[in-house]
Structure 1
Amino acid sequence: MIDLSQNQLQGHLPRSLAYCTELEYLDVGSNQINDTDPFWLGTLQQLKILVLHSNGFHGAIRSPETNYTFPNLRIIDLSHNYFSGNLPVGYFAQWDAMKSVGAKNLKYLDGHSVNYSMLITIKGVELEYNKIQDGLTVIDFSCNRFEGDIPEILGNLEGLHALNLSNNAFTGPIPQGQQFGTFPNTSFEDNQGLCGKPLSKICGDSDISTPPPSTFEENQGPKLFFEFGWKVVVMGYGCGFVFGIVIGHIVTTRKQDWLIKIFGKKQHQTRISRVNRRVNRRK
């Protein structure tokens, strides 16, 4: 049993762990380990519990190099890391301990004189197991960057009690039947590309539809209409103002000429009348 959880361990996972051939329990969760696929640990034939959650493990998980990898594994927690790519289908076919239903007689996993205990977090609910039943089987791959389809072979793990694939980038329909019928929707939520039971999203629904107006568009709509109307008014007012000036100038100019002609003619006629009166008086 090796429990190094909740420390500040950094760097890579020591490859020398592969020599611990009798190791059954390895927990390095909640550290600062920055490493790639650690599935070289699959050579540990007796390993039953592997906890790597809340570290900096990253990259895709490679296919198994042998046909006998993690045969006794019952609990694996890779949550809250940065694993990516498709799920490692080849491993699920070799996890024999998860294929059988738990023993009828109640037994607990122990390291000879020490009982195994651990915290298992599923969908934000942290469960503390002071003793781990021999038949308990858990797969927690949540909060990573896994993608692609969920392999149907997971349904062959008939002894699997808890499956958590939430908060990833899986796509396509969720496999139905077999063990999949025992998992709640929380096992698959927060994967936008997934559909089918137990999720409410039905496969085949057309995603091509008129999207509702965004909050920005809704808030800006009346305002844009008002601004557009105001611009039209201003433009109309400006054009009318210029047009009025031009017409006024033309009218005023022509009016001056018209006044000059009229009043000039009247003044000329008045002068002629006065001259004629004077001439008549002298006579």
Structure 2
Amino acid sequence: MRIFHLNANHLRGLIPSAFPKDCRLISINLGTNKLEGRLPRSLINCKYLEGLDIGNNRIQDEFPFWMEGLPELRVLALRSNKFGGNMSRPSSTKIPFPMLQVLDVSYNEFVGSLPQTYFKNFKAMTEAIELDYDSFLANLEMRLTLKGQDQLLNRLLETFTTIDLSSNRFYGSIPPSIGKLKILKYLNMSHNSLTGHIPSSLENMSELESLDLSTNKLDGEIPSELTGLTFLSKLNISMNNLVGKIPRSNQFSTFENDSYMGNLGLCGLPLTRKCKEDDGKLMQPAEEEDDEYEFIDGFGWRSVVMGYGSGFIVGIGIGYMIIRSGRPRWFVEFFLALDINIRRRRDTTELHQHAGEHAGELD
């Protein structure tokens, strides 16, 4: 047996633990079941194993450091389980996971700092290596989150590389060593508790197509060096504590405001919040500026219009009641006398105008 795919069934219980020493399995896919327990250590006997997908189960274990020495492993998908503990302990293997192209540990319970050792030594993500693609890779079926959307991967291309560490409890800074992953295409570290600055060493990841660092606690400015990532088509750094002006050259001129939302200190396009002008005054977003001009001494134009409208209606009503009832008498007599005077002046004016016209005819 070379391929063992039982994914997307209703399997329960434990993963079989007796993988023999002469195991010749190339691909194991048990994803999307209801399997429990731990990952069997006897998998280390499968020296030809290229892909392991046990995502979307109920496996409760630590990260399988003991698999670092598998010489052919290209896919390790552990997403949506109950894996926990720390991934950043020192490696006992000189070059851990030398052929790994896909690492997906998203939606688990990992804690601690990011696995810096792996960033330095993932050979298949740091340099182009010649691979033999005549095995299970033509029949691969696994689900990954790429560019913010779940996608079904049916074939692993030679140039496909991804790391997904999202939705765990990683904390601490992003190590500059991540820049060594020069041929990584997809990187997702969202929904963790990462702090510190975005490292400028990301500029070395020249083939990066998607970068998601959203929903963390990152601060500082967006490194201008990132504008050199000319293949970057998806960026999400929203919901952090970033500040300063957003770079707008190259690919960054194509990203919309949803890439930056939730960073109150960011300014410049595509956001409406303008950056500091020459006079040092920070311009407010357009919406806020409109609101500020609406208020005069604490009252907005809406309040003024409502006040005039209400007063006009009430005044008409009171006037009608006064004239109809004739009370108070002095008020009615005042307005009647005023009306008589107005009428007399108008009649006098018309009489003078008529007399002038008649005199003109006689001339």
Q: Please, what TM-score do these two structures have when normalized by structure 1?
A: 0.65
Does 2:206 align with 1:165? Answer: no
Q: Which residue of structure 1 aligns with residue 285 of structure 2?
A: none
- Paired position in structure 2 for 1:193: 218
Question: Which residue of 2 is the match for residue 94 of structure 1?
Answer: 121
Match of 1:214 in 2: none
For 2:183, what is the secondary structure of its paired residue? Answer: coil
Shift of 1:127: 1.5
| Change beyond 3 A, Cα 1:12–1:24 | same
1:28 counterpart (49, 54, 60): 54
Equivalent residues, number: 204
Shift of 1:110: 4.9
Q: Does 1:84 align with 2:104?
A: no
1:39 is the counterpart of 2:80: no
Check the 8 A contact 1:108/1:132 in 2, yes or no: no
For 2:54 and 2:44, locate their aligned partners in 1 and report how far apart those are by CA, in whole Å. Answer: 15
Residues 233-248 of structure 1: matches in 2 within 5 Å?
none
Q: Relative contact order: is structure 1 or structure 2 higher (C-alpha 8 Å, sep ≥ 6)? A: 1
Structure 1: how far apart are the matches of 2:209 and 2:159?
Answer: 20
Secondary structure of the residue that 1:202 maps to in structure 2?
strand
Tell me the SS of whatever aligns to 2:34: coil
SS of residue paired to 1:83: strand
1:192/1:11 CA distance change after superposition, 3 Å: same
**Residue 154 of structure 2 is aligned with which of 130, 136, 140?**
130
Structure 1 position 124, deviation (Å): 4.4
CA separation of 1:83 and 1:89: change in aligned 2, threshold 3 A = same
Q: In the TM superposition, what whole-angstrom CA distance separates every residue of 1:48-103 from its partner, at most 9, and x where no partner exists?
A: 00000000000111221121210100110000000010112112222111012587
The 3 A distance-change label for structure 1 pair 183 and 97 is closer
Q: Which has the larger radius of gyration?
A: 1
Alignment-derived partner of residue 240 in structure 1: none
Q: For the residues of structure 1 that align with 2:205 and 2:183, how far apart are their CA atoms?
A: 11
Q: Distance in 1 between matches of 2:191 and 2:111?
A: 12
Q: CA deviation at 1:128?
A: 1.8
Aligned residue for 2:140?
Answer: 116
Structure-2 separation of matches of 1:2 and 1:108: 18
Alignment partner of 2:159: what SS?
coil
Quote the Cα distance in structure 1 between the aligned partners of 2:66 and 2:219.
30
* SS of 1:12 mapped into structure 2: coil
The amino acid of 2:34's aligned partner reads Q
Indicate the SS of the match to 1:127.
strand
Q: What 5-or-longer segments of structure 2 have no aligned partner?
A: 1-26, 227-236, 245-262, 266-363
Q: Say which of 156, 180, 202 aligns to 2:243.
A: 202
Moved over 3 A (4+): 107-110, 179-186, 193-196
For residues 112 and 168 of structure 1, do their structure 2 counterparts lie closer, same or farther at Cα, with a shift above 3 Å needed? closer
% same residue: 37
Tell me the SS of whatever aligns to 1:93. helix
Structure 2 counterpart of 1:216: none
* Partner amino acid, structure 1, of 2:48: E
CA RMSD of aligned residues (A): 2.8
Residues 123 and 142 of structure 1, relative CA distance in 2, 3 Å threshold: farther
Distance of 1:121 and 1:192 partners within structure 2: 22
1:181–1:167 Cα change, 3 Å = farther
Structure 1 position 69 matched with structure 2 position 129: no
Q: Distance in 2 between matches of 1:125 and 1:101?
A: 27
Are residues 182 and 173 of structure 1, via their aligned partners in 2, closer, same or farther at CA, if it must alter by over 3 Å? farther
Distance, in Å, in 2 between the alignment partners of 1:86 and 1:110 is 37
- Say if 2:143 is the partner of 1:143: no
Instruction: Tell me the TM-score normalised to structure 2 length.
Output: 0.51
Q: Greater shift after overlay, 120-129 or 6-15? A: 120-129
| Amino acid paired to 1:79 | S
Deviation by residue 1:214-270 (Cα, 9 ceiling, x = unmatched): xxxxxxxxxxxxxxxxxxxxxxxxxxxxxxxxxxxxxxxxxxxxxxxxxxxxxxxxx
Q: Which amino acid aligns with 2:139?
A: N
Structure 1 spans left out of the alignment, 5+ residues: 208-283
Secondary structure of 2:163's aligned partner: strand
